[in-house]
Each structure stands twice: as structure tokens, then as C-alpha cells.
Structure 1
Amino acid sequence: MKGMKRNIGTFALMMTGLGSIIGSGWLFGAWKAASVAGPAAIWAWVIGMIAIMFIGLTYAELGAMFPEAGGMVRYGHYSHGSFLGFISGWANWIAIVSVIPVEAVASIQYMSSWPWAWAKALYNGETLSPVGLVLAACLVVVYFLINYWTVKLFARVNTAITVFKFLIPGLTIIGLIYAGFHANNFTHAPGGFTPNGWAGVLTAVATSGIVFAFNGFQSPINMAGEAKNPSRSVPIAVAGSILLAGIIYVLLQTAYIGAVPDHLLAKGWGVLNFSSPFADLALALNLNWLALLLFADAFVSPSGTGMTYTATTARMIYGMEQNGYFPRIFGKIHPVYGVPRPAMWFNLAVSFLFLFIFRGWGSLAEVISVATLISYVTGPISVMVFRRMKDVNVSRPLKIKGMPVIAPLAFIVASLILYWATWPLTGQVTLIMIIGLPVYFYYQAKNNWKDFAANFKAGLWLVVYLIVMMGISYLGSSKFGGTNHIPYGMDMVVVVIAALIFYFWGIRSALPSYQGKQDEQSNEQMKIAN
């Protein structure tokens, strides 16, 4: 962490989290969730907020304990060693770095609703056109440049943008409710309040951009190394950003459901297809002033999130290099500006790759959500591992009350949401995690396989957990895409039981006496020696 400057206060750190959460998720999430769950999508946001709050609290305590850049990719390494640390860090990095191009795609997709022919040619209803991709690439470069010189510039720009993000969603809520709120939409549309049952509500939590939206709570944790007072700032920033964003999203979902004109609901919520959901509704209700604001915010909100994730992903790569997973160059901090520039260049290249592979918001939001959930499961276990270690020479500035209950609940809800994501998506994303393993084995070989057996044994529970969750997803209820060998209702009981088994296995598998941190120090000594 040498060279990082502690310049970010509590409010700016919370704005970083809120700025990450209120991104393209608010522009598309209400439409996507309603298409899956109907009016009951309101409950999907509430469930998602509570679930992420449990998970976020475990990471808030870890973030205060280890106020380091790229913290989210490091805690599993500290508690269980390099094997588990790599899998968790890889999943988290894949999920977060892919958000950068997604935010750019969201801006251009909204831009395609402008009333000019050239704008409509940017998006064909499913993917961006070549010109749209070039414009999205330019936005990614802008995110990069704002972060390139100094963290202070990033913090100031992000705080200003986040204040704007409060204003536009607020005006959207008020405008839609005032101009065209139809209370009958909640009960009289085809299928009633829950057209796809409560299974649809649970699936919406996992696949409609809800987990994807709340994923921004990680930003204050990943930037804890630059906070002035991390023990105070990190937990306030995490909990505050989740709660404020949750309130905004529930109100937005309510306004969206009530604003849809009756005649568009003749065939149900699932057939609604908007390129720019809130802007299209505003135009339908003759709220031209709101549509103009939304078109402007289509650049501001996603861009704020894109800038934040450009900052945090660079800290992730820095953190993974410190763990010994990446080349030494990614651990270099600019001596004047205090930012990890080589890591930023690497993420820029990866962002371009994702941009040209995934060109639509909805499909990539699903993949990001599942990858993120895989990385989330280590936090609840790591926090309890360090609670049980008595001989750890590390500061504990924050001990959240009720953590022995919060941690297992967080692990259970993460497992349930992973299951709700439906088969085969759960299996496909889990297999993506395997792609990164050659990188891990390469760097293990460079270190002469030092302590590999101990690290592999400590992280084995996560590999078995992922395989078992894939099996349950495949055999589970048809409501979640499975083969229905485990019927609806019983499937979630099976997930809870399996989650508890792996939760206690994970805690018992931890390396003794903060061994992961010792391994990192050993790696650093090897770098110096070489």
C-alpha cells in the first residue's frame, strides 16, 4: 500500500459507494425486474437490499480491519491462502471490470432514443451498432482519463455527479407519479401482483440487475486504503450507500409500475420492450422536460459508476499483485499522483475486450451478478475466521454487533441468490471461474509451489461448494430452470442446509495464525530479493 494517499473523507467515500450503485441499474433495473416479477418487483428490490446489507456488513468489518487498496480481493487470501484468494479475487475482478463497458453501453443505448435518425442507428434493439461501439469506447477512455492523474480529482468529480444522481431519480419519481400513476397496474394487469409467482420475484433478485446494481457497495471497501479514517468511514459508507440506494430503487420501481399505460399491459409485463425505459415512459406521458433530463442523465449516472469502477478495479489488480497473482508491474504506484497506473492500463484493455464481446445491458448484467455472488461467499467466512483467531497481530477498530448471526445469514442469502439465478446461467458463470486458474498455477510454479498443498486444502471447500451448487441448480425446481428432481420449496431447504455445511467447513479450513498475510509478506521479500 506504499505510496497510496489518504485523501478521502467519510462523505466522499459514501458518495463513491452510492455513485457506484446508482448507475445504469436505475435506468434499466425497474423495467427488467418488472418484466420478470411484475408489480411484485418492488419486493425483489427490498429482498435484494436486505441481502446485500448482510453481505456488506461482513465486508465493512473486514475493510476496517484491513484498510487496503483492492481489499475485496485480499481478505480470502489472508484467511485461507492463495488458492481460495485467487478464485474469489478472480470472480470479483471479472464481475467489476466488466461493469465499466456496461455503463458505457447503457449511455449509448439511452442515446439511441433521441429523435434523430443517426441516434436511432446506434442500437438495433439488442446490441450496439459499430458506430455505437466506438462512442461507448470513447466513454470508457473518458472514465480512464479522469482517474489517471489523481484520486482527489476522481473524488470531487464523483461527489458532484452523485448529487446530480439524487436529483434526476427524484424528479423521475415525482414526474411519473404526478403525470400518470395507474394504481390498477399493481393488481389488474395479466397475472395480478405476482404474474410469475414468488419464484419470479426471487429470480428477479438474481438476474434483473438488482444484485448488479447494489454491487457498488464494494467501492468504499476497495478504496479504504485512501480513506482518512477507515475504521469510521468504511462501515458508514457501506451501510449508508446500500440503504439510500435501496429507498431510491423501491420508489423508482413503484413509479415505473404505476406509469405504464394500460394498453401496453394487455399481454403482460414480460412483453414490454423499451430501449430507454423511463425516457420512453416520459415521452408517452408528454413529459418532454423529464425525457430531456433522462437523456442527459443517461450519460451522467452510468459515467459516474464507470469512473468509480475504473478506480476500484485498478486497486483490485494492485491488490491481486500484492497477493502474488499478477506481474510485479501492476503493483507500481505513481510517485506523484498516487494511483496504480499500470493496473489502469490493463483494465482499460480488458474493458475494450468486454465492450466488443457483450454489447447489450441485460445479458451482461446477469453474468456480472452471478460472478459477483461467487466472490461474495468468502466474506462472511473470512470475517468469522479473524474473529476466532486470538494470536493475530492486527488492529480491530470495528466489531459489528451480532456478526456471529449476520455472517451465516449472509452466506445463506448469497447461496440462495446464486441458486435463484436459474440453470444453466449458474453453471455457465461458474465455469468462467476456471478460465483464470492457469494464471494461478503459473505464479505458483514461479514460487516453486511454496505451501501449495496447505493453500489448496484451505481453499478446497470453495471448489466443492461451487460444484455442489451447480448440481443443486441442475436438479432443482423447474421454476429456476432445473430438472425438477428437487421440487419447489424443498430446493431452497436443500440450499440452506448445504450453505450451513460449507459455512462451517470454510471456517474450519482457514490457515492458522494469519498465514495468508505472512505468505504475502514472503512474496514481497522475494520480489525485493529478485
Structure 2
Amino acid sequence: MAQLKKDITLLSGIGQLSTTLLGTGLFMIPAIAAGIAGQLSLWAWLILFIAICPIALTFAQLGKHFPNAGGTAYFVRKAFNSKLERSVAWLFVSVIPVGVPAAVALAAGFLQQILPSPINSSLAAQLITVALLIAVNLMGTKSSGRLQTAIALSIFTLVAALLWKGGVSAQDIQMPVLNTESIWPISAALGVMFWCFVGIEAFAHMGEEFKNPKRDFPIAIVIGCFVAGATYWACSVVILKFSAYGSPAFDSASIPWLSDLLFGPQFATVISVLGFSACFASVNLYTQSLSRMVWAQAREHRPNGAIAQVSQRGVPANATLAVGAVLIFSCVVGELSGLDLEFFLKLANGIFVLVYLLAMLAAYKLLSGLNKALAALSLVLCTLVFVCLGWSMLYAVSIFSLLSLPWEKWLKRRQQPVA
């Protein structure tokens, strides 16, 4: 049976997860959250980080005990059955039409600023981004991990420079007073902010490729989440201080605007390159995880098929190309339809929170002792976040309900000859 290559070390794992969690989120979510909740967004970040800790620790235990490229779908199969596994797998794939085009479009927005005039259109930049994603993925996880670690260090340097140049003081990090009227804006902000911590479930697909998954996978998740949470909070402090938010166009350009204000226009190209790299790193892990999920499903159900094969580099090449084709189609459709980033993010968040919820449900059944109690707490937290999503959770529920219908039984019944 084809096997993936074990190339991921602890350092590269931390680099991959932290860049994935920061990626597209850092360049728009702090500003969107500030527009929703103002100074209260600082509390929202703190609440979100506290809530994500038990969820991250539960994923760490799942990945430690059950490392598999199938990720959450595999955990669900171990806990329940293969039918539910397939539903979860395709639920994860269903994020492509709503989540990936928005992320690729944001990355392409930075790339577009540095491309020469004949090819600097939005669609061309998106297609180039997808082509680069496919190329990097085909190179293998070792090369990809090194690239994302370098990008992570660049992001931390940028945020540290913004804090220093922005003259952030103790007064700027004072938390606002909470009251009963704070509940609604904080809840509304959380519905968008959860996007910043989607990536843990995608990272679960990489567990099989760690050199030492039982030791390194849990540590990579914990450290990666802590680093990302601290970076988001620090970035939000700077955005709030300079009021770098207020409109959809401004929200997605808040970091470039701050950089221009604090460092001058001569840094515009550097920010564009870094912005593209950060967004690219985030989408890169999702491309990896989607291809591995497709490969894992093929390995389980059609082990001799083309999708179930791996290249000499230990990469599911055919699955990667298939995912790349879907990404190209989704980007074209997304560009033609006109993207509203906040709207698409809310729909994608519904999918991710439901996947998290199902993973925690599986963890509650699979784990024991303290880990089982942690899974129970995580299940409650995921349910609360799901409620915070409001109307956008209907997309996830609708997709999952459709996927859970007995399509195979109905198809077999239709194919049976009539007596």
C-alpha cells in the first residue's frame, strides 16, 4: 500500500501551523473584528484563545494516538462508522467553493501589486497563485515546511516592527470595561474571528507525515496556537490604536495602510511580498490537507486507483492535481460572481466549526480519563461557537444533511433490474 513520506520535524510543524493560522487571517480579521466590536475585540481575542486551547489539546491527543492523513474523517470513522467518515470528508471538501476562493483572492491581491502590467489582473494573479500552490505541494512536505517556517519568522518580525514603530504603550493595551451590552458585539466578532484558528483540523491531516508524531505533533499544535494567538492580539492592538478599520476595502488593506503610515511608501513592495507569502502559506496547508484527505479516501476505498498513488517524493501527486483543478474552477467562479470576503468567511466558518464539533464528538468516544473530560469541554465550546455563527451555520448544516442521506442505497436500488 502506498505510504506518505515522513518529513515533518517539530520546528517545521510549528512553522506550518503558525503560518496557516496567521496567513490570510492576519491581513483582514483583526480589522473586521475591530469594526464589529471596537475595543471589545481585545476581549473577544482573549475569549477565543481560551476557548481554542482545550480544542487544540484535544486535536493534539487525537493526532498523537491516531496519526492518519484522513484527519477528522479518520477520527470519526474510528469512533463511529465509515458512512459518517465519508460525510465528514466531503463536508471538509465543501469548504472549497466558499473558503478557498476568498483566501486565494486575498493572496492574489498582494501578488497583483507586484506583477507586470500584462498579467496583473485579479484572475491572472489568482491562477498564478494556484499554479504555485500545486508546484510547492508536488515538491513535498519537507520543502513546504522550510518555506512556511521562513514566512512565519517574517510575519513575527513585521508585527514586532509595527508594535515598536507604532509606539504601543501600556495605555494602548488596557482592556475595556465589560457589561451586559458587551455580549452581542463580542459574540458577533467571535463568529468571524474563528477563521483565525481554522487550520488545526487541516493540520491533523499531516500527522502521518511527522517523523515522530507521538512526541512532536501535540507540541507543534500547542506552540503553534499560542504563537498565533499572541500575534493576533498584538496586531489588533496596533489596528485599534490607529483606527485602521471601518470598511470592507479598508479592512483587507489595514496592514499595508499601517505599514505605509509607519514606515513610508518605500516599503510597499516588501509588504506586498510578505502579505502574499503569508496568505500563500495559509492556503498551502489547506491544499496539502485537502489532497491528503482525497488520497486517504481513495486509499481506503479504491487502493489501486490513480488517486491513491504517491510520487517518488512521497506526495499524493494525482490527488494534488485534482484539488488544484477544483481550486482553479472555484477561483474562476468566485471572480465572476464577485467576492464579499466577510460573507464567504462566515459560510466557511460554519463548515470548519461543524468539522471541529464532529472531531470533538469523536474524541469524546475515543479518548479516556482526563483527555475524555477535555474533549467534553471542547464539545461544549464548539457548540457555543457554532451558535455564535447565527445564520451562517445553516450552510454547514444543510451540506452535512445532504451528505448524510443514503445516496448509495438509493443509487443501488435504482440500478436493480425490475422483476
Scaled by the length of structure 2, what TM-score is found? 0.86
TM-fit CA distance, 1:226: 1.0
Superposed, 1:2-21 pairs within 5 Å as 2-21=2-21
Alignment-derived partner of residue 149 in structure 2: 159
Equivalent residue for 2:407?
A: 441
Alignment partner, residue 429 of structure 1: 396
Output the CA distance in 1 between the equivalents of 2:144 and 2:30.
29
> What 5-or-longer segments of structure 2 have no aligned partner?
415-419
2:318 counterpart of 1:342: yes
2:332 maps to: 356
Q: Does 1:215 align with 2:215?
A: no
- Distance in 1, Cα, partners of 2:310 & 2:95: 24
Q: In 1, are the aligned partners of 2:203 and 2:285 still within 8 Å (CA)?
A: no
Match of 2:290 in 1: 313
Q: Partners of 1:311 and 1:319 in 2: how far apart?
A: 12
Does structure 1 residue 420 correspond to structure 2 residue 388? yes
Please state whether the residue corresponding to 1:69 is helix, strand or coil: coil
The one-letter amino acid of 2:93's match is W
The one of 218, 229, 246 aligned to 1:235:
218
Whether the 8 Å CA contact 1:40–1:194 is kept in 2: the answer is no
1:49 partner letter = F
The gaps in structure 1 that reach 5 residues or longer are 123-130, 389-400, 449-530
* Residue identity in the other structure for 1:135: A
1:54 aligns with 54
Q: Name the larger-Rg structure.
A: 1
Q: Answer whether contact 2:347 2:396 (CA < 8 A) is retained.
A: yes
TM-superposed deviation, 1:272: 8.3
Name the SS of the counterpart of 2:196 in structure 1. Answer: helix
Equivalenced residue count is 411
Aligned residue in 1 for 2:350:
370
Q: How far apart, CA to CA, are the structure 2 residues paired with 1:387 and 1:16? A: 26
Distance (Å, rounded) in 1 between the aligned partners of 2:345 and 2:179 = 23
Q: Residue by residue, what CA displacement relative to the aligned partner does 1:369-426 show, whole Å, maximum 9, x if unpaired?
A: 11001111122222232236xxxxxxxxxxxx73233111111111111111122x22
Residue of structure 2 in register with 1:386 after alignment: 366
Q: 1:301 to 1:184 in 2, by over 3 A?
A: closer
Alpha-carbon spacing, 1:73–1:184, altered in 2? closer, same or farther (3 Å): closer
Name the amino acid aligned to 1:201. I
The offset of 1:215, in angstroms, is 1.1
Quote how far apart the aligned CAs of 1:429 are.
3.2
User: Would you say the 8 A contact 1:101–1:140 is kept in 2?
Assistant: no
TM-score, normalised by the number of residues in structure 1: 0.69
Residue in 1 that maps onto 2:23: 23
* Aligned residue identity for 2:238: A
Relative distance call for 1:63 and 1:346 in structure 2 (3 A) is same
Q: Distance in 2 between matches of 1:299 and 1:195?
A: 40
Q: 1:409/1:325 Cα in 2 relative to 1: closer, same or farther (>3 Å)? A: farther
Distance 1:149 1:45 in 2: 36
- CA pair 117-5 structure 1, distance change in 2 beyond 3 A: closer
CA contact (8 A) 2:10 2:217 kept: yes
Aligned pair partner of 1:410 in 359, 364, 378: 378
Kindly indicate whether structure 1 or structure 2 has the higher relative contact order, using CA contacts under 8 Å at least 6 residues apart. 2
Whole-angstrom CA distance in 2 between matches of 1:326 and 1:302: 34
Find the counterpart in structure 1 of residue 309 from structure 2: 332
User: Displacement of 1:281 after TM fit?
Assistant: 3.1
> In the aligned structure 2, how far is the partner of 1:419 from the partner of 1:444?
33
CA distance in 2, matches of 1:323, 1:277: 45
Q: Measured at CA, do residues 117 and 225 of structure 1 come closer, stay the same or move farther in structure 2, by a change above 3 Å?
A: closer
Aligned mates of 2:264, 2:187 — CA distance in 1:
33
CA distance in 2, matches of 1:11, 1:407: 26
Once the two structures are superposed, residues 304-360 of structure 1 have per-residue CA deviations (whole angstroms, 9 ceiling, x without a partner) of 1122222121111112234439994322222x1111112112211221232233334
Match of 1:304 in 2: 281
